[in-house]
Structure 1
Amino acid sequence: MTQHPDPIGEVDIHAYLDEQLLPQRRIEVEAYLSQTPEMAARVMADLRVRDELRLAMRTMEPIGRGRTRNSARVLEQALRNRGRIVLLRRAAVIAAFVSLGWVAHSVVNPFAVTPVVASVPTPTFVREAMLAHATTLVREKVHPGATPFAMDDVREATGIALPAFPPNWTLLDSQIFPSSFGSSVEIAVKPRNGEEMTLYAAKTGTFAVQRVTLAHSGKAVAAYWQIGEAAYALVSEGGNSDELTEAAGRLAKTLY
């Protein structure tokens, strides 16, 4: 097989699945797939799952339990075999919501513009934080009870600096997710006299310093900020936005 002068890599496959390639590069990827049947079969399987999920979201009708289980198995196998974690993680989260009959307007278009964030596009990591928050709530209902974990282990696994939590906050659980630039982490916390919240932290791949900003999705509110390449989002449901902003600001200060 002739070696392509600009080899096709995982980044190109990710972008192809997300429909983010320019026409010329898309043609090159398709030519590569035509010469690699095994990879082509895997990509077609991912495209099929993606299209089924899109159809389910568009029609607002839950996919049958059997099909959902089959899709979940495809996603799980693909995660083990390949590194296409960005698309598959999104699809896996949405598939879980579909199986619970949760697909609604808040998933299709979760981030309405509010006066707090007017003219400021919601970053991708904030949308991921909201989905991770919803996933955590579902997981806690299915498997209640805290799972012991060590903050040092989480830092070592993700390479992300984590803020110092107030002494009156209880750490309930942690979950590591794949993300675009390595692993991301979500930690469920509960202040002594407050609502349960989740802190989501991820690498963004770009350097920036951003002050705490609010984003809304239905009842959920995220106070997010960025320091260097690491971005953070503190997510709560039913809480006070001002109190959430203040709490996020205090966490951010511990990172300097």
Structure 2
Amino acid sequence: MHDPVTELDIQAYLDGELDLPRRLAVEDHLAGDPAAAARYMAELRAQTALRLLAEPRDPAPAALIAAAGRLAARMAPPPRPLRHRTFGGMAVGGLAAIAATLLVFVVPGVSPAAPPSYVGDAVMAYRTGLLRAELRSQLESPHFDAGEIQRSTHIRVPRLPRGWQITDAQIFPSDEGPALQLMIRTPAGKNLSVFAVRARSAAPRSPLAMRHDNASVAYWRAGDMSYALIGMEAPEALDLAAENLATEGVF
């Protein structure tokens, strides 16, 4: 007997993150609920439309640009994400992500109205990590066991590039629950932070880089995990590094 299909299963199905047996279970579930299937097909249609917007094409009409801006402003995520309330059959967080992606794809160089709330926690954790490195009384903890972290917190950790050295590993409190923060030293001597929290946020699935509170942040989502890469480099440099993290998978 199959496990019951949950909302997380359906969202993972929409994101293309399920294996074939679980996909079939979700499809059987939706086949028996036409109203729910119609709602989720509408979300898939919106995702396909966003991919089409990403294709090279002539400049977008001014009316479409203005509409994207209004949608992003209206659907910007609140300080604490609304996980269960829906708007027209689609999660508010999902609409906010679509609005943000519309701005990125339709209006090059324009950032979404507001990043997910965990991004602020990620920047704070980064600054705390830098402070810990300077204070002799605050010992760093470079020991890190990805399996132990996943068993205890269900946090899946991105696989780090070769040469990246973990100098500090801490569990950091956030509005979404316990988060993992890793301080990293790159081969070039740069200090970065990787922040991971189990939360289905409004972050895009492909990393989006921006300046936030005098730091550069690239943030993204993978299923029910949300991630951020923080440093003092230019957003473009962090965006490239975050793309590598996002495509390398997890430990």
The one-letter code of the counterpart of 2:244 is R
SS of the residue 1:211 aligns to: coil
SS of the residue 1:180 aligns to: coil
Alignment of 1:81-230 (within 5 A): 116-142=109-135, 143=138, 147-205=142-200, 210-230=205-225
The one-letter code of the counterpart of 2:231 is S
Deviations 1:195-226 (A, max 9, x none): 11000011224587521111313431001101
1:252 to 239, 246, 250: 246
Change (3 A) 1:253 1:202: same
Aligned-residue offset at 1:134: 1.0
Answer 1 or 2: which has greater helix percent. Answer: 1
- Alignment gaps of 5+ in structure 2: 1-78, 81-107
2:235 to 217, 227, 241: 241
TM-score by length of 1: 0.50
Deviations 1:10-49 (A, max 9, x none): xxxxxxxxxxxxxxxxxxxxxxxxxxxxxxxxxxxxxxxx
Distance, in Å, in 1 between the alignment partners of 2:243 and 2:236 is 11
- Is this contact kept in 1: 2:116–2:203, CA < 8 A? no
SS of the residue 2:132 aligns to: helix
- Alignment gaps of 5+ in structure 1: 1-85, 88-114
SS of the residue 1:225 aligns to: strand
Query: What is the count of residue pairs matched by the alignment?
Result: 143
Answer 1 or 2: which has greater strand percent. Answer: 1
TM-score by length of 2: 0.51
Distance, in Å, in 2 between the alignment partners of 1:240 and 1:201 is 21
Change (3 A) 1:176 1:144: closer
- Is this contact kept in 2: 1:181–1:205, CA < 8 A? no
Deviations 1:133-182 (A, max 9, x none): 11111122113655323222222222111111112111111110233343
- Is this contact kept in 1: 2:111–2:210, CA < 8 A? no
Distance, in Å, in 2 between the alignment partners of 1:153 and 1:117 is 40
Distance, in Å, in 2 between the alignment partners of 1:157 and 1:122 is 28
The one-letter code of the counterpart of 2:118 is F
Alignment RMSD (CA, Å) = 2.6
Distance, in Å, in 2 between the alignment partners of 1:125 and 1:217 is 12
Q: Report percent identity of matched pairs.
A: 27
Distance, in Å, in 2 between the alignment partners of 1:207 and 1:126 is 11
Change (3 A) 1:218 1:186: same
Distance, in Å, in 1 between the alignment partners of 2:217 and 2:202 is 21
Distance, in Å, in 2 between the alignment partners of 1:127 and 1:207 is 14
- Is this contact kept in 2: 1:172–1:190, CA < 8 A? yes
SS of the residue 1:235 aligns to: strand
Change (3 A) 1:187 1:245: same
- Is this contact kept in 2: 1:199–1:232, CA < 8 A? yes
